[in-house]
Amino acid sequence: MRVILIRHGETTTSGHSYAGRSNVPLTPRGHEQAARIAEDLSGLPLTHIFVSSLSRSIDTARPLARQHGLDLRVTPSLVEIDFGVLEGREKGALGVSLRKAHAYRPIPGGEALCDVWDRAGAVIRGLPHAPDAISAVVGHFWINRLIWGRLHGLSFEAACASRAYRPATGFWVHIQCPIAPARQDRDGLARAASL
């Protein structure tokens, strides 16, 4: 089982305001990033493309789907964290650390990061685990970061704190996974079942 973890291309809000569940459009640069991703992965025999239900991820995945002749598998669990009352607000003006303030306590009107961790597990369980499966997964900053953490065997807190994977827009990473990775709870304790 191999996973190509892709963050959507640049949007009109990237880097300066919270856009969790809003359908913000890709910028021209974001569309260029989507085309580059399709070109970068043109030689890889992808078997599936899983994509968030938000338009920025779908628009990023379309050139890749055309390149490989694959359908997009819209996966609601791949949406970004629900920022609740923070949605649309400028990041710099608020000075909020999601890792510190909302790891376990939901953002008012939204989610906690531990909720996203649980959804990351659901995404992974829904991927094909066959040895020859190569799945592109097109999501967002926090859901991708926590999927990456789970696939690398990190605990929830270690995945939130890790600086090893902080995906920029239009960034992709290739992950070779065990066929039946161990299940982890929020403390990182391995369980016998699959993720």
Per-residue pLDDT of 82-111, as tens digits, reads 999 999 888 877 777 888 899 999 999 999
**CA count, 13 A, side-chain hemisphere, 145:** 23
Res 195: pLDDT: 36
Per-residue pLDDT of 7-55, as tens digits, reads 999 999 988 888 899 999 999 999 999 999 999 999 999 999 999 999 9
**CA-to-CA dists, residue 24 to 20, 137, 167, angstroms:** 9, 19, 18
Res 15: pLDDT: 82
**CA-to-CA dists, residue 78 to 53, 57, 119, 122, 142, angstroms:** 7, 9, 7, 9, 10
Q: Measure the CA–CA gap between 124 and 5, rounded to whole angstroms.
A: 11
The model's pTM: 0.90
Domains of the chain: 2-194 (3.40.50.1240)
Res 192: pLDDT: 30
The tokens of 139 are what? Answer: 């999501």
Q: Measure the CA–CA gap between 124 and 181, rounded to whole angstroms.
A: 10
Three-state SS across 16-48? Answer: CECCCCCCCCECHHHHHHHHHHHHHCCCCCCCE
- pLDDT band for 141, please (50, 70, 90 cuts): very high
Res 96: pLDDT: 76
Res 91: pLDDT: 82
Rounded to the nearest integer, the mean pLDDT of the chain is 90
The tokens of 156 are what? Answer: 């929830």
> Within a 10 A sphere around the Cβ of 3, how many other Cβ atoms?
23
CA nearest neighbour of 189 among 150, 147, 160? 150
Burial of 45 (0-12, 13-18, 19+ CB in 10 A): exposed
